[in-house]
Amino acid sequence: MAEFSARDRLRLLAGGSAMFLAGCGGSNPPVNSGSLLGSGDGSGTGTGTGTGTGTGTGTGTNTGGSTSPAALTTGLLRDHYRNNFQIGTALSNQRIAANDLSAQIAADQFGSITPEWELKPEVIQPTPGVFNFSEADRVVDWALANGQTVRGHALVWHESTPDHFLQGSREDIRLRLEDYVSTVVDYFRGRVAVWDVVNEVTSADVYRGSDGVGPDRQEDWFNAVGNADYIDWAFRAARAADPNALLFISEYDTETQLKRDWLIQILRRLSARGVPVDGVGHQFHFFIDTDPAQALAAIDAVDNEFLGLINHATEIDVSFYRDPGTCWQTGTNCLADLGPNAPADMLAQQAQLMRSFFDGMVLRSSVESVSFWGVRDSDSWLNTSPVERFNFPLLFDRDGEPKSAFHAITDPNYVI
């Protein structure tokens, strides 16, 4: 859906205080941002210890090799929240293939894996009627071999919808979608525990300076079907294919009032129709100055509907740049690159944000899983979106060392 991805990049209000998720286009594997930001691949100049087998002279990145990060207590992060919720991360085959630090840390510290790209329709069914599970099998089986839970992401996402999904009549589209969802969910039955059945189906009009067109995203799927019934079809097909899988609706920016109001309207409608929704995935792509209370308010808003829904945080990261809208729209007026070394005060701000957020999440019993969108800073899509630039969104630095944010959420005595 090239046309759609481009249009969808224009979602930010002028002045841009709200978040927009551009994605990285409809057909790209996860961006190995580390390799874009440094020439090294392996031992580099990082502070990691161990026996690196990589080569090169990285500028603070360490994208490959088998260098180990400083010793961390095995499972420290995962176990710290054992009585509250699962801790997860996105991971892609690129990381596994290199046997790099991110894969090692993911296996060691996280209990849940979300394939970052491999379970998207553009990967599984780029060609009508032909299913290709090879990419997906690799990361799913890797996670299962590590005893981890797999979050399946995502069965329906406008940014990853091959054109053929939307061709023909409404009935053609329904049958094709049901066949796709049934086949994929059945294939992974017993292996994928949770599905993001639909992703980002709430209206994005708030980012275009209009607040009158919600709650549904009235774009490609909606236009082809004539309304938002495709959401119902996808959930019902998923439930029928695997009654034991948890089925989620996933959305970004639920920490903003209008977006979450629209999402709640959709949830009410689905509930009234008996559509089998088990939970809400809040992506939580934060900025360095995001108020964590707003994220917690999103959890509370779902709880306050008394629909019995589970909450997951699904794609946590913290961008160090709050750009004006023009940066996302046209790549202009973006904040200057901070360079390879994160400012100490911003690292502390990130740590405080994460601590406040986690302190609130543990108090909310409907939260059953909390996932980051990558392991090391160099893994993140935010190094290339909206422009190529060093970003520091995650819990581990480019060398695989735990950052202040990691200590802040695993050690109550850690002084930020």
Say which amino acid occupies 116. Answer: E
Closest to 150 measured CA to CA, from 188, 98, 108, 198? 188
Q: Which stretch, 37-45, 115-123, 213-221, 340-348, contacts ligand 9MR (CB under 6 A)? A: 115-123
The CA distance from 198 to 301, in Å, is 19
Nearer to ligand 9MR, 148 or 314 (CB): 314
Closest to 330 measured CA to CA, from 20, 35, 85, 1? 20
Q: Which two tokens stand for residue 167?
A: 């061709």
Q: Which stretch, 21-29, 62-70, 140-148, 218-226, contacts ligand 9MR (CB under 6 A)? A: 21-29
Residue 72 beta carbon to ligand 9MR: minimum distance, rounded to whole angstroms:
24
Residue 298 beta carbon to ligand 9MR: minimum distance, rounded to whole angstroms:
16
Query: Does residue 388 belong to the site contacting ligand 9MR (CB under 6 A)?
Result: no
Query: Does residue 126 belong to the site contacting ligand 9MR (CB under 6 A)?
Result: no
Please write down the long-range contacts of 220-224, taking CB distance under 8 Å and 24 or more positions apart.
220/1, 220/4, 220/158, 220/161, 220/166, 221/156, 221/158, 221/161, 221/166, 224/166, 224/170, 224/173
Query: Does residue 114 belong to the site contacting ligand 9MR (CB under 6 A)?
Result: no
Nearer to ligand 9MR, 117 or 406 (CB): 117
The CA distance from 373 to 137, in Å, is 20
Query: Is 178 a known active-site residue?
Result: no
Find all residues with CB under 8 Å of 336, minimum gap 6, and list them: none
Residue 287 beta carbon to ligand 9MR: minimum distance, rounded to whole angstroms:
14
Print the binding letters for residues 190-229 with ligand 9MR: x by CB under 6 A, - otherwise: ---------x------------------------------
Among 9, 78, 95, 120, binds ligand 9MR (CB under 6 A): 120
Please write down the long-range contacts of 265-272, taking CB distance under 8 Å and 24 or more positions apart.
265/214, 265/215, 266/201, 266/202, 266/215, 266/216, 266/228, 266/231, 267/302, 267/305, 267/307, 267/309, 268/305, 270/231, 270/232, 270/235, 271/305, 271/307
Query: Is 200 a known active-site residue?
Result: yes
Query: Does residue 315 belong to the site contacting ligand 9MR (CB under 6 A)?
Result: yes
Find all residues with CB under 8 Å of 257, minimum gap 6, and list them: none
Q: Which stretch, 9-17, 19-27, 357-365, 404-412, contacts ligand 9MR (CB under 6 A)? A: 19-27
Among 16, 30, 121, 400, binds ligand 9MR (CB under 6 A): 30
Among 160, 254, 311, 349, binds ligand 9MR (CB under 6 A): 160
Q: Which two tokens stand for residue 257?
A: 């009032």
Closest to 323 measured CA to CA, from 39, 78, 2, 20? 20
Q: How far is CA 48 from the centre of its chain?
A: 27
Query: Does residue 283 belong to the site contacting ligand 9MR (CB under 6 A)?
Result: yes
Catalytic one of 116, 135, 159, 200: 200
Nearer to ligand 9MR, 110 or 355 (CB): 110
Nearer to ligand 9MR, 26 or 325 (CB): 26
Q: Which stretch, 28-36, 73-81, 186-194, 237-245, contacts ligand 9MR (CB under 6 A)? A: 28-36
Residue 21 beta carbon to ligand 9MR: minimum distance, rounded to whole angstroms:
4
Nearer to ligand 9MR, 142 or 404 (CB): 142
Nearer to ligand 9MR, 122 or 216 (CB): 122
Residue 198 beta carbon to ligand 9MR: minimum distance, rounded to whole angstroms:
12
Nearer to ligand 9MR, 8 or 399 (CB): 8
Residues annotated as part of the active site: 200, 315
Residues of the shown chain interacting with ligand 9MR in the complex, contacts defined by CB under 6 A: 21, 23-24, 28, 30-31, 116-117, 120, 160, 199, 283, 315, 381
